[in-house]
Amino acid sequence: MDAITLGPLLLPYSRLPGVLALILLLLVSEILDKKHPGLARWGWMTAVIGGLGGRLAFAAMNPSAYVDEPWSLVYFWQPGYSWWGALLAAVVFSVWYFRKHPALRTSGLMLLVASSLVGLLTLVLLPQSDTGEQLPELLLHDLEGEEVKLSSYQGQPLVVNLWATWCPPCRREMPMLESYEDDERLQVVLVNQGESLLAVTDYLQEEQLSFANVLLDPAQKTMNEYSAPGLPATLFYSAEGKLVDRHFGELSRGQVEEFLRRHGQGLDK
């Protein structure tokens, strides 16, 4: 499992270092604000600027993810951050801020270092994802009732998305996934979990979504195969059929573009 389940919410391990560093920064700066007036204001401003720096650095490495929808840069709840970009932005801003407020320099820098170390240490200690696994020989059915082996999609970069019609984040990411249907750089395979053929086809028709590869898994064998803690769940495979990454929770275009940048076959969109 690569995520923490918080009731209906999923917190991917990849976000945990940033979340812990952010909580420490904001909590301690608020506590110390009475003794060091202005520290809480610096903490909140550093958090915002660090987040913005992390997003902009990620966007610089994956510009195609934001060309058509530049406003999605401010969708801060979606994944797509660079930890080094966030840290660099926080450090540069803090150096500038403490020149104007020298009384906060010692306490602020100590808190920034402590928060950064907590985040980096968490990043190092997190369990690594089980990558390198081959596409499983799961036998599923397509919308025509034909048997399909999941392993039959090996041959080009592959995104396998586990979803359900009742799942709000699944529904939000569907239009983005559909936009890759005509993209020669990858295949997208949707594997519905636990629902009937009628429920799936009705939903796709109502939302006017068209996918070439939609599979049904009423027994949720795929979720068990990947030990998915919830939906949506997305698996990324190389052209050789090797698992190279996985993500639990809502997917962003930036993640797909980063996958293509690292594991694509040199095709331009």
Distance CA 249, CA 263 (A): 21
| pLDDT value of position 265 | 59
Query: 10 Å Cβ neighbour count for 196?
Result: 11
pLDDT digits (tens, 9 = 90+) for 170-184: 999 999 999 999 999
Residues 6+ apart with CB under 8 A from 214: 142, 143, 189, 190, 192, 200, 204
Task: Say yes or no to pLDDT of 269 above 60.
Answer: no
Tokens encoding 122: 């968490």
Distance CA 258, CA 269 (A): 13
Tokens encoding 83: 């930890």
φ and ψ at 145, to 5 degrees?
A: 85, 5
pLDDT digits (tens, 9 = 90+) for 26-77: 999 999 999 999 999 999 999 999 999 999 999 999 998 898 888 888 888 8
pTM as predicted: 0.81
